[in-house]
Every structure is written in C-alpha cells, then in structure tokens.
Amino acid sequence: MTGFVRVAAATPKIRVADCAYNAEQIIALIKKAESEAVRLICMPELCVTGATCGDLFSQMTLLENAKNALFEIVEKTKDCRVLSVVGLPIEFRGKFYNAAAVFCGGKILGFVPKKSFCENDIIYLNDERIPFGSNIVFQCSELKNFILGETVVVNPSALCETVGSGEKRRSLIAVESAQNVCAIVSVNAGYGESTTDAVYSGHNLICENGAVLMESPPFGDGWAVSEIDLHALVHARRNIVFEKNFVIPFSLNMQCENLTRNISPSPFMPCDCEEILNIQAHGLAKRLEHTGANAVLGISGGLDSTLALLVTIRAYEILSREKSEIIAVTMPCFGTTERTKSNAHKLCETSGIGCREIYIAETVKQHLRDIKHDESLRDITYENAQARIRTLVLMDLANKENGIVIGSGNLSELSLGFATYNGDHMSMYGVNAGVPKTIVRYIVEQSAKNSANESLKIVLCDILATPVSPELLPPKDGEIVQQTEDIVGPYELHDFFIYHFLCHGRDASQIFQLACVAFEGKYSSDEIQNTLKLFYRRFFSQQFKRSCMPDSPQVFSISLSPRNGWQMPSDAENIEKGFSK
C-alpha cells in the first residue's frame, strides 16, 4: 500500500543485567517483525541490560557486556529488512549515556542519547565510526517521507505502572503526536525488570497525529503493530517549519502489501451532532441578527432541507425568536411525489412552524413556452427550469418578507457540482455547505432518535427512508423514478473520496487502494474505480459553481469556500484523468 510503513512497539521479556539472555529475546522480536513485514521496530530504553540496574550502570563489565550484546544483535539480524531501535547504556568521553541504537542491514546507523546532547559527534566502537547526538534523523532512501525522528518518532521508555498511569500515558502520547504532527511509537519496559520498588507493564502505543492506532495494554504481550500513514502526515505538515537535523540515510524494501490498521468507510465519523448543529446554527444566528432578517427556506421533504430547517429552528432559539416566524415553503412541481410533499408539511407542522405551498408547475410551463422549449422534452433544461423557478420564488419571497434565503446544499453536492447553477446552488446563507451527505443523514438519524416529539420522530424516519432524489422528472405510479445515487454513484464512496482527496491530498491510485480496503465486500473494484473517475471528472469540471458559492460556515477541517477554503481555477484540467487501477 503506497505511502504506509508498518511499525511495531515491542517489549522483550528480560533478565536484569543478563545482556546475553536479553540479546536473544531482542533478536527473536526483530525476526518476528521481519516475518510480519514490519519495517520499524522499537524496544524499551535500556532493554539490553534492563532499566532497573541502578548503580550497576557504573560497572565497566556491564557496559562492555551491553556493547557486545548489541554487536551480536546487529550481526544476527543483518538479513532482516527492519530498522531497529534498541536501548542500552553507552560510555562516551568518560560519561554514561542512556542511548538508543538505530541499526539495520548489519550496520549501526547511529546512537541517540536520551538526555539533550547539543553537538553531534562520532563514537568509535570496534573501529567503527558511528554518529552520536540528539539532532540525528534517519531517512529511508526508498520512501523519503519515512524519516525516523521527524515524521515517525520513537519513544523508548521505562516508566513504572501506577493507578491511572495507563490512561494518562495514552492521552499524553496521543496529544504529543498531534502537537508535533507526527507518528509516535512509544514502548515501555515490562516483565523481567526488577520489582524491588515498582512494577513495569509493557504498555506500548502507536499514535498518529492525535489518534491511537494500536496499543498493547498494560500487562499484555507487549507487542503492538500498525501502519503509519506517511502521506497524510506529510500533507498535514506541509505548512510547518521544523528545525534542521543531521540526516543519516538507510535503505529497506518498503513495500507495505496490506494493511492491518482500520480504514474507515466513513472517515468523517465519529462526529458530534450537537457540535455540528451548533456551528451551523450560530453561523446562521449571526447572519440573521446582523441583517435583521427572517429566514426563508424551501422544504422538499428530503434530507438536506430537513437539516436546514433543524438548523434554522436552533438559530431562532439562540436568538430567542419565535420559530413560528420562520417562513418555510414547499414548491411541488412535475416530479414531486405525494410522499415528499406530505412529509414537507408534516415536518413543519410537527416542528411548530407554518408551511406555505406554492405550486410552480404553471410558472415553469410558461417559462418553457417563453424560451420555446418543448415541455415533452424532459432534458436538463426541463429539469433545471424547475430548480431555478424555485430559487426565484424564494428570493422574491425573501424580498417581500424582509428575509434571507437559507441554502440547503451540502458539501458532497458542492464537490460533485450536483446542483443547478443559480438554482439550488444559490442562497443568501448556505447552512449545510460544510456538511457531507453521509453526515447530513447521520444528524437527521440522531435527531429522530433523540426527539421527544413522537410525531416529529415518525416523519423524520420516513424522510430518512425516502430515496435521495431531486424529483425533477415525473413519478411513475406515484413513486420516485429519479434517484441521485443512480446518477452519480453512492454518496458514501464520494464522501470517502472527498475526505482523502481534500484532507490528505492523496492521488487517485492511493484513494482507490484505500477504498478497496474500506469497502471490501460491499463494492467491487470496478464500481469503486468508475465512481472515482466520475468524482474527479465532476470535481474539476464543476469548480465554477464553487467559485461563486454563497457564504457558509466551515464545519470540518476542510471547506470548499473560495474565500477561506479550496481555491482552484475554474478551468483547471483534471489531474487524474489518466487514472486506471
């Protein structure tokens, strides 16, 4: 899998001061790592000797035994394609250092002392010149983004276990990985250390930019493996300036053929519905307060307008305004079914607001006659005329009622350009523009689940069960015939593409590989490929709609606003048009 490196945090079972025995355990773990296609393994500080040797560290015999054990470990793992980090005591210029040895391919690449060591230097061991210092990083020749000490940081430690220390450790390491925008492989001393005054649990963690990917729990087997997403880390670090370090190159076969870490098919989850609703509602509340206007919105009986209404009601509550002042309008036309029209009225009624009905079919027919378009030709002109008349009605009604039109279009539709230009594309404040379609559905689901109003719950559930449709073509036998996902593909795939394209800057090949993992068994590789191609084609061809999108609140870390989010020329070529799996 391109852009990933598999890493392991491993705690060997040791004997205090028995370097030969400990070397055997360390060698076994490195070979286990090799067998599991791990490319980086980190072990605890001072694991060659044991961290609890106390004053024995001042004995030259122990230091010499540790050095000899290290050379044995390096020699016996020279055929392993694993970058290894092992802790041991090192004597340098008459001082004792708690250091980490970094090695692979039968060669020690460098020593990094735990205490700050200002100047990088050279240590001589068995006639080898080995870099020694705190400002050393190790960069993989085959995968340039794999830089040990920058993108991936190891944390060999020997911290005793006390009540609550596991949770504290988990929190601290995760936060530190977020603060430094990196992955941290944290490994702790465990079984075999002296228990004279404390106990060590082998609690190991692999964290990436604030997320815990994997851990071996306290008093577990001390073995944690996961893959680090180097591409995502480098993308997140692109605007951060880091201090310069002395770079030591190393070479490994870096192909990561499969992933053990979870690739979520719903990357915008988990999310806090209340937090999202509050962001949307406070944004709208400010706009309503500033303009002194009423909220005017179209209600279709679909998911997007339902969320827009829920947001508007909350904005009115924030402003201590009567929600009965909200102007909700349903505008049935050629494609409207009795089900959605009924749900539009029920939604407003059960929410405690009025609902005006304006039948626009005659207006649309007259408009089609005006532009000399045959009404029987049910093409894009026929469809978009309805969407634009609806927006015209809302805009003029807003003028009449001292209102502003509240837009309901979501982030997924904006990405695909699946909106009628100057129709549902346009509003005076777009409350849903920062919310992906899958999250729109999730918020409405949670609103139904948590509602104490049984009548509202029933109508929300029926809206959720209604196929997603623009309802611009006449129904057949009273049922919706035009389903959005039949046209553009599944929204859950598009939201997955949006996340990895915009949040992590991945190319089509990487997104395709990840989608095949995330949706294995649900969509075929051909379905994923075809939908991904459609996504890129529409994303690039429809930028002109995003270049003039209305004001809207940013909700997630990404935004398609041309003012504070995605900025792209409207006529940029599709950079992934040559993609094939």
* Section 521-546 average pLDDT: 97
Same domain, yes or no: 199 and 128: yes
Please indicate, yes or no, if residue 516 is contained in any of the structural domains.
Answer: no
Helices 454-465 and 303-318 cross at an angle (nearest 10°) of: 150
pLDDT at 140: 94
Is the distance from CB of 192 to CB of 15 less than 8 angstroms? yes
Is the distance from CB of 252 to CB of 107 less than 8 angstroms? no
Same domain, yes or no: 139 and 43: yes
Tell me the pLDDT tens digit for each residue of 304-352.
Answer: 999 999 999 999 999 999 999 999 999 999 999 999 999 999 999 999 9
Please indicate, yes or no, if residue 575 is contained in any of the structural domains.
Answer: no
| Residue 98 reports pLDDT greater than 90 | yes
pLDDT band at 580 (very low <50, low <70, confident <90, very high): confident
Please indicate, yes or no, if residue 574 is contained in any of the structural domains.
Answer: no
Q: Strand locations in 11-160, DSSP E?
A: 40-42, 83-92, 95-104, 107-113, 121-125, 128-132, 136-140, 147-148, 152-157
pLDDT band at 118 (very low <50, low <70, confident <90, very high): low
pLDDT at 259: 85
Is the distance from CB of 311 to CB of 435 less than 8 angstroms? no
Buried b (16+ CB within 10 A) or exposed e, 367-382: bbeeeeeeeeeeeeeb
pLDDT at 173: 96
Nearest to 441 by CA among 271, 262, 263, 264: 271
Same domain, yes or no: 154 and 277: no
Same domain, yes or no: 224 and 349: no
Please provide the average confidence, as pLDDT, over all residues in the chain.
94
Same domain, yes or no: 296 and 152: no
Residue where a domain terminates, one of 250, 281, 297: 250
Same domain, yes or no: 332 and 291: yes
What CATH number is attached to the domain comprising 129?
3.60.110.10
Same domain, yes or no: 365 and 433: yes
pLDDT over 90, % of the chain: 89
**Higher per-residue confidence, 395 vs 253:** 395
Cα–Cα distances in angstroms (integers) from residue 301 to residues 305, 362, 470, in the given order: 7, 21, 11
Q: Which residue, chain included where needed, has tokens 């694993």?
A: 82
pLDDT band at 256 (very low <50, low <70, confident <90, very high): low
Residue where a domain terminates, one of 181, 216, 250: 250
Please indicate, yes or no, if residue 169 is contained in any of the structural domains.
Answer: yes
| Residue 525 reports pLDDT greater than 70 | yes
Please indicate, yes or no, if residue 333 is contained in any of the structural domains.
Answer: yes
Which residue segment(s) compose the domain that 185 sits in? 4-250
| Residue 520 reports pLDDT greater than 80 | yes
Same domain, yes or no: 226 and 286: no
pLDDT band at 505 (very low <50, low <70, confident <90, very high): very high
Q: How many CB atoms lie within 10 A of CB 192?
A: 21
| Residue 242 reports pLDDT greater than 80 | no
Residue where a domain terminates, one of 413, 443, 478: 478
Same domain, yes or no: 462 and 353: yes
Pairing type for strands 136-140 and 246-250 reads parallel
Please indicate, yes or no, if residue 210 is contained in any of the structural domains.
Answer: yes
Please indicate, yes or no, if residue 347 is contained in any of the structural domains.
Answer: yes
* Section 99-123 average pLDDT: 88
Same domain, yes or no: 316 and 191: no
Number of domains forming the structure of the chain: 2
Please, what sign has the CA dihedral across residues 210, 446, 495, 277? negative
pLDDT at 571: 95
| Distance from C-alpha of 437 to C-alpha of 429, rounded to nearest angstrom | 18
Please indicate, yes or no, if residue 492 is contained in any of the structural domains.
Answer: no
Same domain, yes or no: 171 and 84: yes
Cα–Cα distances in angstroms (integers) from residue 569 to residues 252, 425, 510, in the given order: 40, 19, 24
Tell me the pLDDT tens digit for each residue of 141-197.
Answer: 999 999 999 999 999 999 999 999 999 999 999 999 999 999 999 999 999 999 999
Same domain, yes or no: 189 and 307: no
